[in-house]
Structure 1
C-alpha cells in the first residue's frame, strides 16, 4: 500500500513539472510574438526603408534561446525519493523475536528485561506522533540504536545500516535518548542514596573505616574542536575531556563532574567541583556522622591518590613520606580500598567503548553523551548485569605528586587533613594488632 502511495505521489509531481514547464515556455513564446508584432507595426508606419541586419536577427534568436533556458533553470526539480528504502529486518525479525539474554547482554550490555524497563522510563519523552506519511521510529528502536552506538563506538552510518535508519536520524536519536536519560535518570541513579551505613561497612571490610567513597579522574578522548583545537589538549598530546567520579564500595558512581578540559589538573577540577563544596559544608552525607579517635573528630572519608589536595575528609597516601610501619599499612589499606575506583572506570569504558576512542560528537553534546554512559553503568551495576570482556586500564593522566600541596592555599585544611590521617593510621594499626 505504501509503494502505491509513493508511485501516485511521484506521478503527480511529474505531471506538475510538465504543466509548469509548458506554461513557462508558452509565456516566453507569447512575449516573443508580441515583440515581433510591435516591430512590424513600427516598420509599416515608418516612411523610410527598413534596414534589418543579419546580426540583429541573430541576437534576437539567441535572446529567445536564453529566455527558454532561464525558464527551465528556474523550475524546481522534484526529489527522486522521499525516503530511501532501508531494511529493519535484523532488528524487528531477529533481535526482538529470537535473541536470548546472552545475545542482548553482548550487544546492548543489558538483558532484555532491563532494556524494556529502561524503555518504559524513557517512553514518554521518546515516542513521536504518527502521521499519514510514514510510521515513526519506535521508542524501543531509538533506545536500541543508542545503546549499540555507545557500546561499539561505531560511526552513525554503520549504526544506521544496522537498524535501517539514516545517519542523520541516528545522530539525532542518540542525542535525544541521552538527553532523556539525563533528565529522567541522573538524579535517581547517580547519587549517594540512603544506605550510608552499608557503604561504610563495605569499605570497612576492604580495610578502611568510616569511608563513604573513592574519587579519581580519567580522560575521555575527543575530537579536537575546529574552533579551538588547543583548548582540550593534554600533556599526552591528544584532546580529551576530564571525567571526575566518586564511587562506593561496589563501583557505583555517586557523583560525577564532567566538562572540564583535559589540560586541567585533577586538583583544579576537584576544588571547583560540587562534591568538594558539599563535603566542606558537611551536606553531602545525610547527618554527617563523625568518628572520635583519641580526641580527633573524623568526618565521613573519601579516598584519593596523591594528585589531590589534603582535606579533613579527603585522605591520600603518605607516599614517599611513609617511613614507619603504621604509615605503610595505611597506604596499603587505602590503595586496596581505592582500587574500586580504578575497576569502576575499567568497567565503564569496557561496557561503553565509545569512551575508549575519540568520541564522535560535537563539543556541545559531549557532556550529555558521557553522562548517559555513567547512568547506564550504574543501571547495569544495580541490576547485576554481567560484565563481558577484560577490564581496561583507564590510564588517568596525572601530574607528579611533587608540588601538589601548592595547589591548595588553605593551610588550615591541610593541617586538619594531616591530623585526621595520623589518627586513622594509628586506629588502623591498632585494629591490625587485635587481629
Structure 2
C-alpha cells in the first residue's frame, strides 16, 4: 500500500467517531485518530509505539502474556476478529471491545490493521456504585457473550445458580442493544397462577372480570419496543408455558376479555437456576418452549467461579448499601470475605456487607464486624476445588512447575498481576512459563 493510500486511510479514520488506530503487522502503531487520542491517549505521541505497551503496559505481545491477540488472529486467518480486553485508559482500566480488521494492498496482501475500540459502559473493572462489576476470566467470558448477542433480537436464556445477578445481566443486554431507548420490563414467573399470568402479561379489558373497572395494559404491551425479562422461567407451570409459547410463536396476544389480536414487539430474555434440559427430559418443561427461548444461552458464573472478583464486588456493594459515604474495608476483612464460600452468591455477599456496615461505627469495616455475623451462615466448606495441594514429596523444580501452572490458572490474575504477586519481574515470569511449557 502506497504512502498516499495510507494517508487517505488515516484521513478517513480521523473523521470517524469511534476510537481507531492503524497498526503494522509487527504490532507497531502507525497512526491514531482524534477519537482514540481523546479517549485512550496518555499525552505522549502514539505513532511508533507498540499497541500492547499502550493498551496493557506489557513488554511483549498480548498472546505471549496470556491474552488473546486480535491482530495475530486476524493475521493468521485474514478475517476481522473481535475480543474483549482490559485496557489502560486515562480513567483507569476499562473493559474494551476490540475489533481488528486487516487492510490489504493492491496485490491482496495484508499491509495494515485497523483496530476499533469501544469502551463497554455496561460493566466496570473497578468498584462501581451500579451495574456489573468484575475482571476475572469467568466474568469476562460472560461479558463477551453479552456483547456478542446484545445487538441482535435473539432470545437469550441466563443460566446459573441463584443470586448470581441475572437481572443485572439482562439489563446489560438491554442497555447494549438497539432497544436501549425502549423499556426494560421484568416479570417474576415464580408463583404465577394462570389468571394472574394472563392478566399481568396480556392485560385485560374493562368488565373482563369482577373488579376490572377499566382497561389495563399488560406487561407485554409495556415492553413494546424494549426488552421483556422473564425471571425464574423454570418455575412456570406447564399450563402457562403453553400460553407463553403461543405468544412467542405468533408474535401476537389478546387481552383478557378482549377480541382483537394485538402485535407484540419485544426482545425476550429469560433466566432460571434450574436445569431446563433435565426438566425437558422429565416432561416438566415443554421441549418446544425450551428451543424457542434457548437461542443464545449465557452462563452467569457463581462466586466460587470468579473468586478473584470478591474483594472488588465487596467494595462495590459497600458503596451501594452503606449509609455513610466513603467507608472502607480493612485488608483483613477483604481477605476474610475472599476466602469464604457463598451458597447464595452475590446476594449472600451483599447481605453480609450490609450487616457489617450496620455494625461498624468508624470509618473502617474490620474483621470483627464480619465474624460477628458468621454464626447464622452455613458452615465453612472444606478446601475449595482447585486449591493447590500436593500429596507426595517432589523436587523443587517440579514443585515450581506445578505451582506456576496452578497460579497461572487462577481467576483475576493476568500475567502482570501474577508477576507482582510472585515477587518477580514480568520478564522472569515469562521465562519461567516458557521453560515450564518446554519441559
Give the TM-score range, shorter chain. under 0.3
TM-score normalised to the size of structure 2? 0.24
Q: Which has the higher contact order (CA 8 A, sep 6+)?
A: 1
Q: Which has the higher helix share?
A: 1
TM-score normalised to the size of structure 1? 0.24
